[in-house]
Amino acid sequence: MKIIEQIKDKINKANDIVISSHIRPDADCIGSGLALFHILKKLGKNVSYYNIDEAAFPLTELPGHDVIKIGQVYPKKFDLYFLIEGGTESRTGQKNLDHYSTINIDHHASSINDSDINWVEPDAAAVGVLIYELAVSLDVKIDKTIGFNLYAAISSDTGSFKYSNTTERSLRIASEIIKESGILPDEVSDLLYNTNTYNKVMLLQNVLSTLELHLNDRLSIIELKQEFLGTTNIKDVETEDIVAIARSIGSLKVTLFFKELKKDHYRVSIRARGIFNAQKIAKLFGGGGHKHASGFFYNGNIIEAKKELLEIISKELNK
């Protein structure tokens, strides 16, 4: 049986269903989770949605967002547990996952296939694409709430339909979502991309002042120091998109974004273009992600980290 048919079968047989997204949720996993929540509601299911981390503004403004509860899943018997983008306890922060019948829906090649059913499609631009296909197979009409969330998921993970995962499939599905639900794409874009605060734009100024170019302008490095955050009230997760600015320089193949979490402890995002494989680099440091967008944690001095990465990336670029 095709995996989507297996999931359909499980949904049809289930009554009480719970959903969780990964920690530090992004627009794809929240949008996809919310769309799935409202799809299952339309089928008359009892649905709960538990996340460990609160979503950051503006994702809190996604329609239907108020159904999300923060914390561990209530220890009751659910028939089915959907894990959006990563089915492990470390990825979701949820404990005792092996007590449930779990379905992991993901599009990361690095997804750990630890759930009872693992629907992992690295070729899908976003989990939103998969949730749309699930809705179609369940015969659920895409209403405005579902449509807005799915479109936000796909728009966000394709960088507003700019990244290499902007394919016939992602554009066709985005178009079908608009047609079926009647949502206005510019309203989604305004919410996701045009709601910066003054403090956020000033933070960009500080981060951009750290910009370095290396390896004949093929590698850029930027850094977000804790001191930049100061009293800005900007949450960590709201700074994820800053890397997009540093990667817009035409000559670049790779961009590294060092985010200082505390002294000598960094989260490093890697963005790549063309044939360069960011995931391969992230894996060397115990991280993961996609070919063009990956990341890892680094404990140690940033000067050492840069030295080490420059050497590795230089070798990769000169292959």
Instruction: List contacts with Mn ion (CB under 5 A).
Output: 28, 126, 157
Nearer to Mn ion, 131 or 313 (CB): 131
In angstroms, what is the C-alpha Rg of the chain? 20
CB of 6 to Mn ion, least distance (A): 22
CB nearer Mn ion, residue 154 or residue 222: 154
Cβ nearer to Mn ion, comparing 29 with 204: 29
Closest CB to Mn ion among residues 56, 309? 56
Q: Compare residues 126 and 270 and give the one whose CB is closer to Mn ion.
A: 126
Q: Least distance to Mn ion from the beta carbon of 108, Å?
A: 7
CB of 26 to Mn ion, least distance (A): 7
* Smallest gap from residue 126 Cβ to Mn ion (A): 5
Tokens of 68: 């999300």
For strand 254-262 and strand 265-272, is the pairing parallel, antiparallel, or unpaired?
Answer: antiparallel
Please, are residues 193 and 201 in contact by the beta-carbon 8 Å criterion? Answer: no
**Listed residue (149, 181, 202) closest to 31, CA to CA:** 149
Residue number with CB closer to Mn ion (152 or 219): 152
Closest to Mn ion by CB, 126 or 246: 126
Beta strand pairing call for 288-289 and 117-120? unpaired
Residue in the structure block whose two tokens are 């890697």? 270
Q: Nearest approach, Cβ of 28 to Mn ion (angstroms)?
A: 3
Q: How far is the CB of 73 from Mn ion (least distance, A)?
A: 21
Q: How far is the CB of 84 from Mn ion (least distance, A)?
A: 9
Smallest gap from Cβ 113 to Mn ion, in A, equals 17
Task: Evaluate whether 277 touches 238 at the Cβ level (below 8 Å).
Answer: no
> Closer to Mn ion at the Cβ: 28 or 223?
28
> Toward Mn ion, which CB reaches closer, 247 or 290?
290
- Map the chain to HEC letters: CCHHHHHHHHHHHCCEEEEEECCCCCHHHHHHHHHHHHHHHHCCCEEEEEECCCCCCCHHHCCCHHHEEECCCCCCCCCEEEEECCCCHHHHCCCCHHHCCEEEEECCCCCCCCCCEEEECCCCCCHHHHHHHHHHHHCCCCCHHHHHHHHHHHHHHCCCCCCCCCCHHHHHHHHHHHHHHCCCHHHHHHHHHCCCCHHHHHHHHHHHCCCEEECCCCEEEEEECHHHHCCCCCCHHHHHHHHHHHCCCCCCCEEEEEEEEECCEEEEEEEECCCCCHHHHHHHCCCEECCCEEEEEEECCHHHHHHHHHHHHHHHHCC
**Using CB atoms, what's the residue nearest to Mn ion?**
28
User: Least CB distance from residue 85 to Mn ion, whole Å?
Assistant: 5
